[in-house]
Structure 1
Amino acid sequence: MPFVHVQITRDGTTREQKAQVIAEITETLQRILGKDPILTHIVIDEIDTDNWGWQGETTTVIRSR
């Protein structure tokens, strides 16, 4: 049973875009690895940009420049 966990920043991704990501990841696992879509689980976590950072700064600060 494949389980894919996708983490992205919360910044305007639409419901339709997330549905497309889920569909395409599922299709890729089926096509390349032969995984059954019925058993494939995709989870998308949207992380607030204040809670995601690198190089010592939050994504909010970095994007504000």
Structure 2
Amino acid sequence: MPYIKIELTREGVTREQKKALIKGVTDVIVDVLNKDPHLTHVVIQEVALDDWGYAGEQVSELRERGITADKK
């Protein structure tokens, strides 16, 4: 029983985008591992920017300063 957890920062990911992630990840598990999609579980957890850190700082503060992971 595959269990896939996707963690994202809470920044307006739409229901349609989440649906596409769940479908896409399930399809990869079926194609690569030959697993039954009815036994494959995908969980999307959204994390507040204050609760996500990068390079020793909260992402919320980095974003306030206009800094992203690719600009650090």
TM-score band, normalised by the shorter chain?
over 0.9
User: What residue in structure 2 maps to residue 52 of structure 1?
Assistant: 52
Unaligned runs of 5+ residues in structure 2 are: 66-72
Identity %: 45
User: Displacement, 1:57?
Assistant: 1.0
Match of 1:26 in 2: 26
Deviations 1:2-48 (A, max 9, x none): 00011000001000000000000000000111010000000000000
Moved over 4 A (4+): none
Q: TM-score, normalised by structure 1?
A: 0.96
Over the residues paired in the alignment, what is the CA RMSD in angstroms? 0.6
Unaligned runs of 5+ in 1: none
Higher normalized contact order (CA 8 Å, seq sep 6+, divided by chain length): 1
